[in-house]
């Protein structure tokens, strides 16, 4: 993504947070960003498409912080999951994200409402996966119900808890929620009670990149892990900058271009494949797997 486009997203983010999505006009974004109307529409065909880019930037920032917590660590460790949920809480609170989401949900923009609903399913899918990591595959049939209950606790109970106690005790509240979930998992698995089967997730998170938040999530997650590897493990600054540029280009092409160019994606991934340093890492292997699945659709 070029620098000017990033600046537009940054200016729009501040305006959306400050004034709300509905009360922010395209003209205000154009004036605040210092670009022409033609340039704006060259980047974003509509305000709703810009909002998606803004929201994706929130997700990317949060996912990077969240995913860094699990690199090289035991996924079954519940304390790591608590840290991840706490990072989300801090991120959403700092960015006033809940208020922004509520503003969009009361608007008349059906496309954006559907987009946000799908991101909720994506979040639920992530919680479900993490609960499987913690409680084991044998408990998987019962864990979507538990994921829904946990997400409701984190959002709704935390809202009132923060009003009463402040955010300083947020981690204590999250641990309380997980302790309750442990009891529920034990009870529903012992009594074999399932209300919503995990397979339901596939109905709301379809395969393929078009309109698919699961694809976007997997791509963003793999990019964040790859970036972290390059920034922490690769000493050669020139090599690191070159690879980061290619990786960011691929992410931008697949997430923000309505018609991603297959030949460019194929050429860029082929370029990365030639590098022996990247080829030997699991994070690049996952990144390549996601893109190759997209190319072969």
Spatial CB neighbours of 239, under 8 Å, sequence gap ≥ 6 = 277
pLDDT surpassing 60 at residue 208: no
> Are the beta carbons of 259 and 180 closer than 8 angstroms?
no
Within its chain, how far is the Cα of 297 from the centroid?
22
Instruction: Give the integer Cα–Cα distance in Å for 91 and 50.
Output: 20
Numbers of helices and strands, H then E, in the chain: 16, 0
> At residue 214, does pLDDT exceed 80?
no
Please, how many CA atoms are within 13 Å of residue 283, restricted to the half-sphere of its CB? 20
Where are any strands of DSSP class E within the chain?
none
pLDDT confidence bin for 209, thresholds 50/70/90: very low
Res. 20: pLDDT tops 70: yes
How far is 106 from 21, CA to CA, in rounded Å?
10
**Considering the chain, what percentage of its residues have pLDDT values greater than 70?**
93
Task: Say how far apart CA 88 and CA 151 lie, in whole Å.
Answer: 12
For residue 1, give the 3-state DSSP assignment. coil
Q: Does the pLDDT value for residue 237 go beyond 70? A: yes
What is the rounded distance in angstroms from the CA atom of residue 266 to the CA atom of residue 102? Answer: 39
Superfamily of domain 1-45: Homeodomain-like (1.10.10.60)
216 compared with 75, residue with greater pLDDT: 75
Burial of 52 (0-12, 13-18, 19+ CB in 10 A): buried
Determine the pLDDT at residue 211. 41
Confidence of residue 210 (pLDDT cuts 50, 70, 90): very low
User: Is the per-residue pLDDT at 175 higher than 90?
Assistant: yes
Give the 3-state secondary structure of residue 148.
Answer: helix
Query: What CA–CA distance (Å, rounded) separates 97 from 248?
Result: 24
Average pLDDT over residues 66-74: 75
CA–CA distance, 95 with 17 (Å, rounded to integer):
7
Rounded CA Rg of the chain: 20
88 within 8 A of 67, measured Cβ to Cβ: no
Neighbours of 1 (CB within 10 A): 16
The reported pLDDT for the residue numbered 213 is 47
Residue-level pLDDT at 57: 86
Confidence of residue 81 (pLDDT cuts 50, 70, 90): very high
More confident residue, 27 or 213: 27
Beta strands in 146-218 (DSSP E): none
Contacts of 227 (CB under 8 A, 6+ apart): 64, 244, 247
Q: CA 264, 249, 91 angle in degrees (round to 5)?
A: 145
Chain-wide mean pLDDT for the chain? 87
Cα(84)–Cα(247) distance, rounded to whole angstroms? 25
Question: What count of other Cβ atoms lies within 10 Å of the Cβ of residue 154?
Answer: 22
More confident residue, 135 or 254: 135
- To the nearest whole percent, how much of the chain has pLDDT over 90? 46
Residues 163, 47: Cα–Cα separation, whole Å: 33
Q: What is the pLDDT of residues 178-197, one digit of tens each?
A: 999 999 999 999 999 999 99
Q: Is the pTM of this model over 0.75?
A: no
> What pLDDT shows up at residue 278?
87
Answer yes or no: is pLDDT of 98 > 80. no
Q: What local confidence, expressed as pLDDT, does residue 254 receive?
A: 85
Half-sphere exposure of 114 (CA within 13 A, CB side): 9
Q: What is the mean pLDDT of residues 236-243?
A: 90
Cα separation, 231 vs 240, whole angstroms: 7
More confidently predicted of 1 and 232? 232
pLDDT band at 94 (very low <50, low <70, confident <90, very high): low
């Amino acid at each position: 993504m070029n620098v000017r486009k990033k600046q537009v997203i940054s200016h729009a983010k501040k305006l959306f947070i400050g004034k709300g999505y509905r009360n922010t006009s395209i003209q205000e974004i154009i004036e605040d960003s210092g670009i022409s109307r033609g340039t704006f529409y060259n980047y974003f065909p509509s305000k709703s498409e810009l909002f998606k880019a803004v929201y994706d930037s929130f997700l990317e920032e949060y996912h990077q912080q969240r995913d860094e917590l699990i690199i090289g660590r035991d996924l079954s460790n519940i304390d790591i999951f608590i840290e991840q949920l706490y990072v989300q809480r801090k991120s959403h609170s700092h960015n006033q994200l809940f208020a922004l989401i509520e503003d969009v949900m009361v608007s008349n923009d059906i496309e954006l409402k559907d987009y946000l609903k799908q991101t909720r399913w994506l979040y639920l899918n992530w919680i479900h996966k993490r609960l499987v990591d913690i409680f084991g595959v044998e408990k998987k049939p019962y864990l979507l119900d538990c994921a829904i209950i946990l997400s409701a606790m984190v959002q709704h109970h935390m809202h009132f808890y923060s009003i009463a106690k402040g955010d300083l005790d947020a981690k204590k509240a999250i641990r309380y929620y997980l302790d309750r979930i442990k009891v529920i998992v034990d009870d529903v698995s012992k009594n074999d009670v399932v209300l919503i089967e995990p397979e339901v997730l596939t109905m709301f998170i379809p395969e393929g990149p078009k309109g698919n938040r699961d694809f976007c999530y997997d791509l963003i997650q793999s990019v964040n892990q790859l970036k972290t590897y390059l920034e922490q493990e690769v000493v050669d600054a020139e090599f690191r900058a070159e690879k980061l540029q290619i990786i960011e280009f691929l992410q931008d092409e697949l997430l923000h271009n309505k018609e991603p160019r297959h030949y460019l994606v194929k050429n860029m991934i082929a370029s990365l494949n030639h590098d022996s340093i990247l080829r030997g890492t699991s994070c690049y292997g996952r990144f390549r797997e996601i893109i190759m699945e997209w190319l072969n659709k």
